[in-house]
Amino acid sequence: MLLPRIIKRYATPATASALALGLSSPLLYTASNQIATRIVGAAPLRSFQTTTPWYLHPSKPASMGSDASKVTGNFPKGKSESEWRAQLSPEQFRILREKGTEPGFSSELDSHYPKEGVYSCAGCHTPLYKASHKFKSGCGWPAFFDAIPGTIDRHVDRSWGMKRVEITCKACGGHLGHVFEGEGFNNPTDERHCVNGVSIRFDENAEQKL
């Protein structure tokens, strides 16, 4: 078995804790830059300057707590659960409507840096982020330092004894990811909106319509 050998060789207290929590493959979820680099064969993640421990990462596996909850409330572009299930793929439904998380380094939008365009909500198609808001965080998920004003809600999530700030689409309530502040990234807001690529879609022409 490859994975036990890797764990034996590279496991840290953090990954050992993850194993104790029952995560099947914590090393694939950016346990540390060093391990992630070794496991996925990615380039060194020098730009990932955050001091946030990996287990506080907004895109931790959905099996760890409140990410498995459902979106509730009334929204301008809200739909019934059956309507969302009919519209969305199973993975989109799991993430957008049940606050799930895609695996790190799995989204092609992570390494997508167009000069123009808009990233819209994959559920209701409301424009959320401009291409100019995107930056390279190295964390394995699409990252933005700001959003189009008035399009995103923030909710403090205190599950698992942690304080994290969830971000959702204001129009439909769809779960996007989490936002971290003050990590030291060299961008205008020093924020990192860590967004599931499954939760958004790119339209290169939409910016002209804003």
Residues that bind Zn ion (CB under 5 A): 121, 123-124, 126, 169, 171-172, 174
Among 121, 169, 172, 194, the one annotated catalytic: 194
For Zn ion, which is the closer residue by CB, 31 or 169?
Answer: 169
For Zn ion, which is the closer residue by CB, 75 or 160?
Answer: 75
Q: What residues does 164 pair with on adjacent strands?
A: 157
CB of 8 vs Zn ion, minimal distance in Å: 44
CB of 120 vs Zn ion, minimal distance in Å: 8
61/55 Cα distance (integer angstroms): 9
For Zn ion, which is the closer residue by CB, 59 or 126?
Answer: 126
Report yes or no: 40 and 70 within 8 Å, Cβ to Cβ. Answer: no
Separation of first and last alpha carbons in the chain: 52
Amino acid letter, 73: G
- Residue that is written with structure tokens 């996925």 in the block: 40
CB of 96 vs Zn ion, minimal distance in Å: 8
User: What token pair was written down for 149?
Assistant: 């004003």
169 noted as active-site residue: no
81/158 Cα distance (integer angstroms): 25
Catalytically active residues, by annotation: 194
